[in-house]
Structure 1
Amino acid sequence: MIARRNLPVIAGGLLAAPSLARAQNETLRQGFSPSRLDRFAPAMAREIERGSFLGAVALIARNGEVVHHQAYGHQDMARQKPMAQDSIFLLASMTKPLTSVAAMMLVEEGRLSLRDPIVEWMPELRNLVVHTPQGDQPLARPITVQDLLRHSSGFVYGDAAPERIRDLYRQHNIEARNEPLAGDEMLRRLGTIPLAFQPGERFFYSISTDVLGLLLERVAGERLDRLLESRITGPLGMKDTVWWVDDARAPRLAEAPDSDPLKAGMWASYRIRQDQSANSYLKGGAGMVGTSADYHRFCQILVDGGSFEGRRYLSPTTIRYMMSNHMVGMGGTPAASTGPGYGFGLGFGVRLADGMGVAPGSPGDAMWAGAWGTSFTIDRAQNLVGVFMAQGPSNRVRTRMLFKNLVYGSLVDEG
């Protein structure tokens, strides 16, 4: 029998414990429970204790209002610098949505079309063939701009490729991991390596967005960093979303734990302390750094239908189109990044239904993440943005799902 003597009694039954009473009577902020948002701190402390990361920053906004923006733990291995709201993180693949939005801006202007073959701007890729067990085969159709946006091009990331293609990617330094590589030379080398599958056959996460960035440079006639700054990061005031960390920003750079087995190799290949724009291609799929507040501003234009603070970036129809599933009829899955239950749109994983996912959300919500441990979710049904910043590559899937559980567990009034 449960002992009740320590709880106050009123007529008709038990009086709620004081903490429960406060939770029941608390004032919600845009549907979020302050007491439930308090769960972030102990959850982050547990992850720090287990070595997932040294610290993190969590940001949640709903209906355009930031309801939670907190930093946890430390920024550095020495644990001398507390994590701050404006700490800077390697975004890795959270660069991809920025490049994808820039591409759709050019589409809206009529400067390119999703159905256009990419060889119109990249003749270096005109002689591509497809690797098969029976030998190399010609392309059944050209690679299109849409293929680059939805990762159905036949390109790969070397580490996930068939052995022959993996070795060729490494030999030719396609991903510029070993040393800088100019964009024109990268495309020339890439044009000598077979595709892993026929264009449009399947989703396969890849360097497609890096190639897209080089394509945008040729279409727009300007370098990718300048293109994104003039169209997205500059107008949005994303002052710390850049391609390399200068001396002024360096003290705010968050570190991953030395114990993370992926840290050393990834740090050597990212080289974000060097300005390589003069001698290496800018990776439209992985190259940028930024802060939680900056990335929230970018996400807000997507949840708000393409506009933010009086400026329009894309039309609502284009946003809806980007966040639709473009994998219908194709093989492959983005589950390694999103978990099950997601398809892929033009730059984002897209939730297909209420069920199947391993974390809550809404049908049509969009998300993506970075290899260093950052992630975001955009839930247009709830007018919700969540941004999570951490540097812990080996635990990135675990922590991005934990973040989503904490976000949706704190949303108690869906409006």
Structure 2
Amino acid sequence: MSRLHSAALAAALLSFAGAAAAQTSGAAEGMAVDRLARIAPVMKDEIAKGTVPGAVTLIARNGKIVHFEAHGFLDSGKTKPMPKDAVFRAYSMTKPIVSVAAMALVEQGKLSLRDPLSQYFPEFKQMKVLVEQRDGRGLTSRAEVPATRPILIWDLLRHTAGFTYSGSSPFPELRDAYLKADVESSVGDVSTEEFMKRLAAIPLAYEPGMRWEYSVATDVLGLVVEKVAGKRLDVHLEETIFKPLGMKDTSFQAKESQLPRLADAFDADPLKASSWKANRIEADPGKRYLRGGSGTATTAEDYFRFAQMMLNKGQLDGARILGRDTVEYMTSNHIGGLAGDPLPTTGPGYGFGLGFGVRLAEGNAWVSGSTGDYMWAGAGGTSFTIDPKEKIVGVFMAAGPSTRQHTRFLFKNLIYGALVE
């Protein structure tokens, strides 16, 4: 037998052994092996249809990985096979991480949810709100009026600060103001000082504390964390979350060694050019404010470790990041009775905690799940779900900004379809 054939046989045997181990583990954890095996063909079909170039899927139950596979390709041209350790732009999956960092500071007595934002950034002390007014003829117009209460740190965590995003702004005046000021640093490199100055000069979309509105709030929160910790956000997260959890491939800048593993979207994806330009994960993050709402790159296995820490009530492999009660508090609904909800990201039936969408009931949703399961997703095509009742973590990684809603719900259906015990 030639050396080449021997190597091929050895690789095949290792692959078979790995598959057998995964099957044994899957069966042992109440996940049906044949049903987990459905995932690869479904991903293959989606790749063939042009949904995404490739994907990495990971499912764990009871803290044990029962499914971990790479599918398709790393690049738009479908020339590089997708590796399991592919690096993805995490976008808004950065938000839960920064929220955890903030709550760790709360646990240490260095930060309080009752603190006004202006305590850390005085620019926000006297905010205005854009409101609709009706005159005697019944005609409506919008005017700026003083906010009735300050923005609190709690508001930043639960997206009730009154901020918005340019792409989802409820008013064209705010959209134009956000774009003109380049608040999201999508075009140029906006410094921390300029970001805060420009954002504070724009009126709020809503009164603080009155409505859930997805926004740049977590970007602001990240800079509060920076100020309280006395370190740049990327350094603080590396020291307090990434390194303790063994998240070796997660950072605010893709390292030179990671670039060959950086997943790309199809060139034909209509959102790729603008999304990738705004993210700029290859660039030096020190040139602009560190975007705590969307700035990291990560891998499926790294994010699994973060998610498993949350499922374990704040600890993983001896590293404690949060206390048990803090995790339960963060993953409870904090927007009951308020207008607005995270439906575009979570689907119906979800409220919002502190950094996570939280399921309110077994039903009234687009996909299976459990009361109290929580999740979030990224604009680049990534998503995760954590189910404390079933002790499940699911991580989906793909580069597909235009198809992200389809893929996140598809994967969640595949997870729960494999659950048999």
SS of residue in 1 equivalent to 2:227: helix
Give the equivalent residue in structure 2 for 1:8. none
SS of residue in 2 equivalent to 1:70: strand
Post-superposition offset of 1:27:
7.6
Give the equivalent residue in structure 2 for 1:272. 281
SS of residue in 1 equivalent to 2:285: coil
Q: Which amino acid in the other structure matches residue 81 of structure 1?
A: K
TM-score, L = length of structure 2 = 0.91
Indicate whether 1:171 and 2:170 are aligned: no
Indicate whether 1:203 and 2:203 are aligned: no
| CA deviation vs aligned residue, 1:216-243 (integer Å, no higher than 9, x gap) | 1111111100110111001111111011
Give the equivalent residue in structure 1 for 2:252. 243
Post-superposition offset of 1:273:
1.1
Give the equivalent residue in structure 2 for 1:232. 241
TM-score, L = length of structure 1 = 0.92
Is contact 2:75–2:263 with CA below 8 Å preserved after alignment? yes
Post-superposition offset of 1:124:
1.4
Q: Counterparts in 2 of 1:16-415, with a 5 A limit?
A: 28-134=27-133, 135-161=143-169, 162-277=171-286, 279-413=287-421
SS of residue in 1 equivalent to 2:234: helix
Q: Select between 128-137 and 292-301 the one with higher mean Cα deviation.
A: 128-137
Tell me how far apart the structure 1 counterparts of residues 360 and 401 of structure 2 sit (CA, whole Å). 26
Post-superposition offset of 1:26:
11
Tell me how far apart the structure 1 counterparts of residues 280 and 383 of structure 2 sit (CA, whole Å). 21
Alignment gaps of 5+ in structure 1: 1-24
SS of residue in 2 equivalent to 1:320: helix
Is contact 2:349–2:361 with CA below 8 Å preserved after alignment? yes
Is contact 1:26–1:33 with CA below 8 Å preserved after alignment? no
Q: Which amino acid in the other structure matches residue 72 of structure 1?
A: H
Is contact 2:26–2:67 with CA below 8 Å preserved after alignment? no
SS of residue in 2 equivalent to 1:387: strand
SS of residue in 2 equivalent to 1:201: coil
Tell me how far apart the structure 2 counterparts of residues 74 and 377 of structure 1 sit (CA, whole Å). 24
Tell me how far apart the structure 2 counterparts of residues 313 and 248 of structure 1 sit (CA, whole Å). 28
Q: Aligned residue pairs: how many?
A: 388
Going from structure 1 to structure 2, the CA distance change for 1:121 and 1:371 (only over 3 Å counts) comes to same
Which stretches of structure 1, 4 residues or longer, exceed 6 Å deviation after superposition?
none
Is contact 1:29–1:67 with CA below 8 Å preserved after alignment? no
Is contact 1:182–1:280 with CA below 8 Å preserved after alignment? yes
Tell me how far apart the structure 1 counterparts of residues 174 and 266 of structure 2 sit (CA, whole Å). 32
Post-superposition offset of 1:275:
0.8
Q: Which amino acid in the other structure matches residue 176 of structure 2?
A: D
Q: Which amino acid in the other structure matches residue 44 of structure 2?
A: A
Tell me how far apart the structure 2 counterparts of residues 285 and 77 of structure 1 sit (CA, whole Å). 26
Give the equivalent residue in structure 1 for 2:3. none
Tell me how far apart the structure 2 counterparts of residues 177 and 88 of structure 1 sit (CA, whole Å). 21
Is contact 1:371–1:396 with CA below 8 Å preserved after alignment? yes
Post-superposition offset of 1:78:
2.4
Post-superposition offset of 1:90:
0.4
Tell me how far apart the structure 2 counterparts of residues 365 and 125 of structure 1 sit (CA, whole Å). 34
| CA deviation vs aligned residue, 1:10-58 (integer Å, no higher than 9, x gap) | xxxxxxxxxxxxxxx9981311111111101111011112211000000
| CA deviation vs aligned residue, 1:305-359 (integer Å, no higher than 9, x gap) | 1111112111110000000000012100100000000000000000000001111
Q: Which amino acid in the other structure matches residue 124 of structure 2?
A: L
Tell me how far apart the structure 1 counterparts of residues 126 and 164 of structure 2 sit (CA, whole Å). 17
More helix by share: 2
Is contact 2:251–2:296 with CA below 8 Å preserved after alignment? yes
| CA deviation vs aligned residue, 1:277-302 (integer Å, no higher than 9, x gap) | 1x210000000000000000000110
Tell me how far apart the structure 2 counterparts of residues 397 and 78 of structure 1 sit (CA, whole Å). 23
SS of residue in 2 equivalent to 1:46: helix
Tell me how far apart the structure 1 counterparts of residues 155 and 352 of structure 2 sit (CA, whole Å). 11
Going from structure 1 to structure 2, the CA distance change for 1:27 and 1:57 (only over 3 Å counts) comes to closer
| CA deviation vs aligned residue, 1:182-227 (integer Å, no higher than 9, x gap) | 0111101111100000001110000000000011111111110011
Q: Which amino acid in the other structure matches residue 84 of structure 2?
A: Q
SS of residue in 2 equivalent to 1:165: helix
